[in-house]
Structure 1
């Protein structure tokens, strides 16, 4: 009797295990992922500052992509990150009044012909050599004008509601099917900050 030929899945499985062992032995991590980091967004700094007659926002976030998001990026699918800052005035008799809202949308895309990562904000774009550099450019801002000091009531309590997230609604239509609620595609950080 002849031995049954090995199934292709068995060979692939063996190759995957061997590669995983080699990476573990070398202490390597996949490109673009933080070592030991779970996918997500961590706000490392959020501050409101008075600069002249304007109130500005400064933030820094640490973004760790899931394997699914990173794979989509490497296949040429653009991914969008959104930062939104909203200033409210507290009211005891009604819902809190929104004083100002600002929003920034960054588009991150991989360009295979040049092996560059392209980040666009509004009409401006910049190329980066690595995914880490591109993510760093999308996850921080300083001196971001939020409101005029004239819009603030000196006797009222004001607070900032800040949100930074991957916007899955801007993905191509076919990719949006079944993505909602999947852990790898939910990258979000929210925080409230009182105005002192």
Structure 2
């Protein structure tokens, strides 16, 4: 029976198979972080103004969760921009609203603290804390808009705000895709 050194075709196939395996291993280790899914996004007009409801779903990637466990507070940012389309010029921004949530691990009590504005709530598990900042209802983003005009739309973005991280950590995460948790969508404002 001939040895692989005596069969150049076998040696070439073996090298190609090894190269393919190495590429597959590299691709699996460099796979992007779990996506942030935007499950629900809807808007409504009311007497109070334009109200927005949204719900997201995500798990923190291992590196992000590790940073949270080590005392780094994470900030999540929801941003909504009410626009009016115009045929003669660029679209006009009518309103811009942002909302920020801060989640921090409390090592003395083994709990998670979620803060939004001046209010904060403590949760026993990371899953409960994440559910608290993954949805929001009846968020007033603008003053009332006339219903007869149907040329309005909302640009919505929800993301992990890496600009709020400590400066040394911001420099280190530039090439790590697991820190890119972001979802964006544009919806028309219903009548």
Q: Same fold (TM over 0.5)?
A: yes
Aligned residues of 1:40 and 1:65 also touching (Cα < 8 A): no
Residue deviations 1:91-128, cap 9 Å, x none?
11111101111111000000000001000001111100
| Whole-angstrom CA distance in 1 between matches of 2:48 and 2:64 | 40
Q: Are residue 77 (structure 1) and residue 72 (structure 2) matched?
A: yes
**Residues matched between the structures, number:** 158
- Equivalent residue number for residue 116 of structure 2: 121
TM-score between both structures, scaled by the size of structure 2: 0.79
| Whole-angstrom CA distance in 2 between matches of 1:79 and 1:155 | 39
Query: Secondary structure of 1:92's partner?
Result: coil
Aligned residues of 2:150 and 2:189 also touching (Cα < 8 A): no
- Equivalent residue number for residue 187 of structure 1: 181
Structure 2: state its 5+ residue gaps.
Answer: 1-32
Residue deviations 1:17-76, cap 9 Å, x none?
xxxxxxxxxxxxxxxxxxxxx522100000001232421000000022110000000111
- Equivalent residue number for residue 90 of structure 2: 95
Structure 1: state its 5+ residue gaps.
Answer: 1-37
- Equivalent residue number for residue 157 of structure 2: 163
Q: CA RMSD in A?
A: 1.4
| Whole-angstrom CA distance in 2 between matches of 1:110 and 1:193 | 35
Q: 1:42 to 1:139 in 2, by over 3 A?
A: same
1:83 Cα deviation (Å)?
Answer: 0.4
**Structure 1 stretches (4+) deviating beyond 4 angstroms?**
none
1:155 Cα deviation (Å)?
Answer: 3.1
